[in-house]
């Protein structure tokens, strides 16, 4: 990612697309031991990004079959067909890899022939079908990459609008890191980075309504009775902006978390960006490190400016509703390599 941005010095780049490729490839290496997208193939990068976002939009489109289940088989809006087509196109990225890996294991007759196993090997050991594995990767790779890239984009947008916070973060990173690149092992040295990350999650939770839940039994919440099997949506976006819980809730103030035990691990109900309990985001630890590492290197390695002499206050911060909370207008910034 950093090498690619060096080539783009002085040009406008879309932060969400740059970070999407980084996130997608990090996960692909964990699951499949290889990059799936090449930064230099801009057309391919754009195609994959658009496919994932199309899939996210389809899953949040109002479906008349949800209101009248008897109409489900008719697929009146064509949503099922479009989702299947989109999923098939995404699965083409790794379909051949799964097939080759399985055939290689069959040819050698040794399931332990690879010295280092990745997640694909684990799934093959579990005797899942190629179709099951491929569908699994749609959720693990596609959906997760979009939420992580969105969080970095929001963090960069807030820092551009708050130059004092940007300055403090950059000084912290420079003071502890003489090297060009920040590594995962050094993230613990940057408390202000962590504060900025938490404040970004508060204002812009990756999933504003979390993933839909279902009541497993009748329950009473204040004066409301929630019947068994009711679908439940938790508006963590509104909770994190409630003035009853937060001072100046609409302002970006990382310092609000200083000397506070508030965290994002589901222990404090006023701050639930990843959910809580048994259904909390399973990828939380990896997401935290992945996002912080990307943000730290973007700030440490480059000075950033807005295109067309735009002022920070003019930056559009409108949101686009979906499973993932995206900026309505993609953040476009101009990098300048820091010497």
List the binding residues for heme.
Answer: 281
Helix (H, G, I), strand (E, B) or coil at 190: coil
Sorted by sequence, the CB contacts under 8 Å of residue 98 that are 6+ apart come out as: 120, 130, 133, 134
Please report the DSSP string for 279-313 in residue order: GS-TTHHHHHHHHHHHHHHHHHHEEEE-GGG--GG
**299: CB partners within 8 A, 6+ apart:** 159, 166, 169, 170, 173
How far apart CA 66 and CA 322 sit, in angstroms, is: 17
What is d(CA 16, CA 157) in angstroms, rounded to the nearest whole number?
11
Four-residue CA torsion sign, 182, 280, 147, 328: negative
- Which residues belong to the annotated binding site? 281
Mapped onto helix, strand or coil, the DSSP state of residue 334 is strand
Q: Which two tokens mark 20?
A: 């999407």
């Amino acid at each position: 990612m950093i090498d690619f941005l060096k080539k783009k010095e002085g040009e406008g780049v879309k932060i969400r697309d740059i970070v999407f490729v980084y996130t997608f490839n990090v996960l692909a290496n964990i699951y499949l031991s290889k990059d799936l997208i090449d930064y230099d193939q801009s057309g391919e990068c754009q195609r994959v990004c658009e496919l994932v976002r199309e899939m996210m939009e389809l899953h949040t489109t109002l479906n008349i079959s949800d209101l009248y289940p008897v109409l489900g088989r008719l697929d009146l809006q064509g949503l099922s067909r479009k989702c299947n087509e989109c999923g098939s196109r995404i699965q083409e990225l790794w379909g051949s890899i799964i097939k080759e890996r399985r055939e290689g294991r069959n040819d050698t007759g040794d399931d332990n022939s690879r010295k280092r196993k990745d997640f694909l090997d684990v799934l093959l050991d579990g005797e899942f079908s190629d179709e099951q594995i491929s569908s699994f990767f749609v959720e693990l790779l596609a959906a997760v990459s979009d939420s992580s890239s969105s969080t970095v984009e929001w963090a960069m947008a807030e820092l551009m609008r708050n130059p004092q916070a940007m300055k403090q973060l950059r000084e912290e990173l420079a003071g502890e890191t003489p090297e060009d690149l920040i590594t995962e092992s050094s993230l613990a040295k940057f408390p202000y980075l962590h504060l900025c990350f938490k404040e970004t999650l508060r204002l812009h939770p990756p999933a504003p309504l979390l993933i839909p839940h279902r009541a497993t039994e009748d329950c009473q919440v204040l004066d409301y009775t929630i019947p068994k099997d009711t679908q439940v949506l938790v508006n963590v976006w509104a909770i994190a902006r409630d003035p009853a819980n937060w001072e100046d809730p609409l302002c970006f103030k990382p310092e609000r978390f200083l000397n506070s035990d508030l965290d994002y691990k589901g222990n404090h109900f006023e701050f639930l960006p990843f959910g809580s309990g048994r259904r909390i985001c399973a990828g939380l630890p990896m997401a935290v490190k992945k996002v912080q590492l990307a943000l730290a290197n973007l700030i440490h390695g480059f000075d950033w400016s807005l295109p067309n002499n735009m002022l920070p206050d003019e930056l559009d911060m409108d949101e686009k509703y979906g499973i993932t909370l995206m900026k309505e207008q993609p953040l476009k910034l101009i990098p300048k390599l820091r010497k």
